[in-house]
Amino acid sequence: MQRAFELFSDIFADRDNVLTRLDARVKVIVTFLSILFVILSTRLVLPLAVFTLSLIGTRIIRVPIRLVLARLAAPVTIALVLVVLQTFIVGSTPLFTFSFFKWKISGFQEGALRGVLIGCRVLGAVSLMLLMSFATQAHRIFHTLRWLGVPKGWVEVAMLMYRYTFTLLDQAAEVMDAQRLRLGYSTIRRSFSSVGVLAGTVMILSMDQAVSTYDAMMLRGYKGYMPFGPLPAMSGKDLLILVTAPCIVLAAYLLCEGGPL
């Protein structure tokens, strides 16, 4: 359970380093603008550069490599699936052909290039969010979202989801430990059955937790919204970064879009 806690928590954001000292508003705005330019990019240079720089940033703030790889496992899998799907369904120039029983299957060059581009966009955007999560405490991100005008209901739901993720992880771990003690994962067939029971149990527990949370909030005077206090004024250094960083990102986007790749 400790590994799951490290995987989803923001314990590294509590450390003192060059990124955690930046104002959360600066990091959120710059990150979202960078993600926008990564999504809009039509060449590989910018997404790959952003992905590389984000990984370097995680090493600068001393995030363990195994934790970075664990968080990137799902996005990398999605990127690979996108590359494979695009290769087989998009394009007209054959890249390779093979036979599967009576079917003749071809991969196309245009689809492969498009899949690689989309996959690089995914990795670039996810790596930016990953770096921000390692360098910014969750409650500061939520506070910044309210400062930016995100609807209160969205922010409150996100806060509650983040808060009770760890509660459900603990409960799921307890159920899984009980299943293991009863040899619930001794064979493949019993493993599938145990996973189904575990998923159903977690769903029931989540609904029970939602009811309990609602009752607790109402007893504490919840009126339909959570109050957010004002954010402190930005320092001169943060304001300078907030002005210059988007300009640098825009210049990099225009430069990369005019490149050969």
pLDDT digits over 214-233, tens only?
Answer: 888 888 888 777 777 788 88
180 found inside a domain = yes
Please indicate, yes or no, whether residues 122 and 240 belong to a single structural domain of this protein.
yes
Q: What is the pTM of this model?
A: 0.80
45 found inside a domain = yes
107 compared with 127, residue with greater pLDDT: 127
6 found inside a domain = no
Please indicate, yes or no, whether residues 33 and 87 belong to a single structural domain of this protein.
yes
Give the tens place of pLDDT for each residue, 39-89. Answer: 999 999 999 999 999 999 988 888 888 888 888 888 899 999 989 999 988
Please indicate, yes or no, whether residues 81 and 52 belong to a single structural domain of this protein.
yes
Please indicate, yes or no, whether residues 99 and 189 belong to a single structural domain of this protein.
no
Please indicate, yes or no, whether residues 221 and 237 belong to a single structural domain of this protein.
no
Burial of 100 (0-12, 13-18, 19+ CB in 10 A): exposed
Residue 4's H or E segment, with its range, is helix 2-8
146 found inside a domain = no
Which residue matches tokens 């001794």? 186
191 compared with 6, residue with greater pLDDT: 191
Our count of domains for the chain comes to 2
Please indicate, yes or no, whether residues 221 and 255 belong to a single structural domain of this protein.
no
pLDDT score recorded for residue 77: 92
Please indicate, yes or no, whether residues 74 and 162 belong to a single structural domain of this protein.
no
Residues 6+ apart with CB under 8 A from 138: 10, 13, 162
pLDDT value at 261 more than 70: no
1 found inside a domain = no
Please indicate, yes or no, whether residues 185 and 123 belong to a single structural domain of this protein.
no
258 found inside a domain = yes
Please indicate, yes or no, whether residues 58 and 179 belong to a single structural domain of this protein.
no
95 found inside a domain = yes
Largest separation between any pair of C-alpha atoms in the chain: 68
* CA–CA distance, 253 with 9 (Å, rounded to integer): 32
7 found inside a domain = no
User: Across residues 166-184, what is the average pLDDT?
Assistant: 85
Assign 9 a pLDDT band (cuts: 50, 70, 90).
low
Measured on CA atoms in the order 202, 207, 211, 214, is the torsion positive or negative? Answer: positive
pLDDT score recorded for residue 2: 43
Please indicate, yes or no, whether residues 120 and 246 belong to a single structural domain of this protein.
yes
Please indicate, yes or no, whether residues 74 and 183 belong to a single structural domain of this protein.
no
pLDDT score recorded for residue 92: 80
- Which structure tokens are listed for 57? 């940033």
Please indicate, yes or no, whether residues 173 and 207 belong to a single structural domain of this protein.
yes
Give the tens place of pLDDT for each residue, 127-173. Answer: 999 999 888 888 888 999 988 888 888 888 888 888 888 788 888 88
What is the domain range of residue 19? 15-137+233-261
pLDDT score recorded for residue 65: 87
